[in-house]
Structure 1
Amino acid sequence: MSGIVVVGSANIDQVFRVERIPSPGETVLSHGLSTALGGKGQNQAVAAARAGAETTFIGAVGTDSFGEMVRAGLSKDSIGVSQLRTSAKPTGTALIAVDGTGENTIIVEPGANSDLTALTSADAAVISAASALVMQLEIPLDTVVEAARIAQAVGTRVILNAAPIDELPQALLDTLDVLIVNEHEAAELARDNGLAPELDGLGQRLLALVPMVIVTLGSQGASLHRVGADEVVVPAHRVTAVDATGAGDTFCGAFAAGVVEGMREDDALRFAVAAASISVESHGAVPSIPLRDAIETRAKESAL
């Protein structure tokens, strides 16, 4: 087994720069609009590839120009696209508002992503040959469960970034090796499963569901929780954030790349935090994802 396969969404992001995120019923003027590659699946695949992992992407795009942009972008990062299917629906699109502090709000139209169903025998073969399967929740949940079962059956490590958060069926939880969530997602998952949602000790409580939990903490870094081991907390790097779009996805892809490479999980966590810290310093999702050399440099700086 080798490399990473990402089963997930591929979008085109339409990013509006605003002074502040509008409140309900409020209109604000944008002072800039950009179009870039995005979608949690595509982001994580690019992050894994740029972090040094051999990566294949399983997803769906439309026949439109946005679909062509996705194919070209993935190929540019040497990501395998043999299993990228074409849908009659338009390529997924995200409308993103980013304020002056780098915070954002996102609305996603799934489009072709909703047609990523009924994995083929070729899809199964790619998943089975990988060292790790990375998924999110911007595609049909049944497909996520199906892919996870295929991976579990052959010993491929299953990593789920449970975002956007949804109620996770037991059939999916039973397949997971690693669950990655932010604090909000962790609290929602705890409530859904009858666990106390308070933030203190939340990562440890989620170990009742899966053997390893990572909670991303935004500007505070990330914490790692494993059954039978002490909590590991890696603080965030001090940076000037301009756009948090895709930072969590950068973290997920970099962590998966580190684990597949053979890093200890603690070291993969530090590697991922370093990658995410670089991504918030630039605008856009895919455009802000760093290359391996930059991640290593940032990680070494934090160790000094």
Structure 2
Amino acid sequence: MSTAHSFNKLLNQPKAVSKSRATGEADDGTKKLRRMILVEGIPSEDDVTLRPRVWKILLRVNEVQADTYLHYVSRGPCQVREKIRNDTFRTLATDKGFKERVREDMLVRLLDAFVWRSHDRQDEEHFGFTYVQGMNVLAAPFLYTMPSEVEAFFCFSKFIEEACPLYVQPTLEGVHRGLKLLDRCLQFVDPELFVYLRSKNLSAEIYAFPSVLTLCACTPPLDQVLKLWDFLLAFGVHLNVLCVIAQLLLMREDVMASPSPMKLLRTFPPLEAPPVIGIAVTLVRDLPPELYEELAKHPFETNQ
């Protein structure tokens, strides 16, 4: 199976966040946008103005209502505010650019508002939501990228509710499922590396939990995280599992030569989005169709 086939498989698959549409198919404009992201990426000189527009198109955020967000904010701290505050001060703490652009109070407000929104919508939503571990890091790229807190809120909400609802359930069901799938996918694409890690009692649950939980947003630098998220928003967050495998393959030689590979895996090397995306795309062709289908559905489908 060729790399071209992998491209086509990605471009033509129903996107995870499109599952609620009658046909599940992206329109021609969205397909062109996805192809651009895959082949060229968002031009770095235009990413500040272009990326917010692209993300809103991919998430199908057509309406942003400031008064709705202000209504949630006016209700003050939600019932899990203390839990939120325990995490927000640590969010991307080593990234100076993030700290300069996104204050902690913005992150707290957005997460408070999301919990209030979910509280009000609990009768109409398939999944219930509250604040869970990792949600602060998932919100961070939206606050950093979007020109306003209001736009960040609506994009984050749509993303959580449609793209990866199982990742933010109290049991982190989607995350744990993703980690199990990572092991299964690695066994297919690189049996030798899989066996070596297992010989050291290393499963994905042990070394890849932060990367799967945060969709790699925990691995700096942030500008590379945003490029990776362009790809994940275009084609589905399920591909993050293959992106983590791609990072393993980029450090494969060192891992295989190390008698204690967990020392290397505890902190992944700085993220380089283009090679990671390139490897992830080629890995698609190596997976059996039934495993890839399971991978594609794991962030949002419960009957697996």
Query: What's the TM-score, normalizing by structure 1?
Result: 0.27
Which structure ranks higher in relative contact order (CA pairs < 8 Å, sequence separation ≥ 6)?
A: 2
Give the structure with the higher percent helix. 2
Query: What's the TM-score, normalizing by structure 2?
Result: 0.27
Give the structure with the higher percent strand. 1
